[in-house]
Amino acid sequence: MARARARLYRQVDVWPGYVDALTTLLLAITFLLTVYVLAQFFLSQALSGREKALAQLSQQIEALNRELLGERAAKSELETRLTADLRSANDARSAAEQRLAPLEGELARLNGLIASSKAEGEALTAQIDAEKKSKSEALSQVELLNQQIADLRRQLSQIAVALDASETKNRESQVVIADLGKRLDVALAEKVAEMARYRSEFFGRLREVLGNRQDVRIVGDRFVFQAEVLFPSGSADLTDEGKKTLSSFARTLLEISGKIPGDVPWVLRVDGHTDRVPIASPRYPSNWELSAGRAMSVVKFLLSQGVGPQRLAATGFGEYQPIDAGKGPAANSRNRRIEMRLTDR
């Protein structure tokens, strides 16, 4: 029991632990104080350095303020001087503008003169170039003309030689031509006489066939049929009486044409004529169509009677070839007619 009490006593002895704790605490406090002192030392050192820096900065700011004041004063003085200089420059500019105003007008006039002179110079240059070109072309043409003249001279010499030879031939051929002309005149005279003989025989036979009718006349070298004998008024269709008259005419023509030699170039020309009274029907818009239609009706009827188409010709004259210049019904009746002429082609 005594030993148990001794163990128990030893177990509850905590004083060394407190001593250790206090020692540890004291050491920690000492460390903290040391750290605090050191921190205060370094802080004081840092603060003293900052104060010195602030003092230096204050000095620099004061120096800058002094410089700024000097600059402001210099600026004010410069502005005053620039204002004065600008005012004097504006005055000088105004005076210069006043002096330049008349000079500008003169300058504009001189520019206009320079421009017109330049244009005249360009035109003159162009004219000179054109004259040079035309002169060159003229020289070329002169050379070409000289060559052509030389060629023409050679040709003229050749032509002169040919003319000399042809004159000799012409003198020889003139004799032949004169002889041929005489022969041709004799042949033509014979043909004309022969044609006149057949025409005379034709007219004589027609007089016998037609008798002494007032509406069928022989005027010169042509037969004249009044339109009323062959056609109704305003028409180109043959009447029965007209067809009967033309049948007798065709028989006589065929009888006479059989006697005419084949080498005689004869033709029967049928001419249609109207009066001055205008016509405007759908079939015949004017007297031209009516006169041509009547001539064609006669030609077609003669064709149906056996007359050859190569021996017939139809022509319409309208009212423009009157045989009576009067204006009454009698003149109109005479002007409405069909003329037939036996002639050569």
Could you tell me which residues are beta bridge partners of residue 286?
none
The structural domains of the chain, with segments of one domain joined by +, span 51-79, 213-344
SS3 for 70? helix
- pLDDT tens digits along 227-263: 998 999 899 999 999 999 899 889 888 888 777 777 6
pTM exceeds cut of 0.75? no
Share of the chain above pLDDT 70, in %: 81
pLDDT value of residue 165? 75
Instruction: Identify the band that residue 187 occupies on the pLDDT scale cut at 50, 70 and 90.
Output: very low
Instruction: Report the C-alpha gap between 229 and 90 in whole angstroms.
Output: 120
CATH architecture of the region 213-344: 2-Layer Sandwich (3.30)
What sections of the chain are H helices per DSSP? Answer: 2-11, 15-210, 227-230, 240-257, 287-304, 329-335
pLDDT at 62 exceeding the cut of 60: yes
CA 195 from centroid of its chain's CA atoms: 62
pLDDT at 110 exceeding the cut of 50: yes
Are 236 and 294 contacting, i.e. CB atoms less than 8 angstroms apart? yes
- pLDDT tens digits along 283-336: 999 999 999 999 999 999 999 999 999 999 999 999 999 999 988 899 999 999
Phi, then psi, of 89 in degrees rounded to 5: -65, -40
pLDDT at 211 exceeding the cut of 70: no
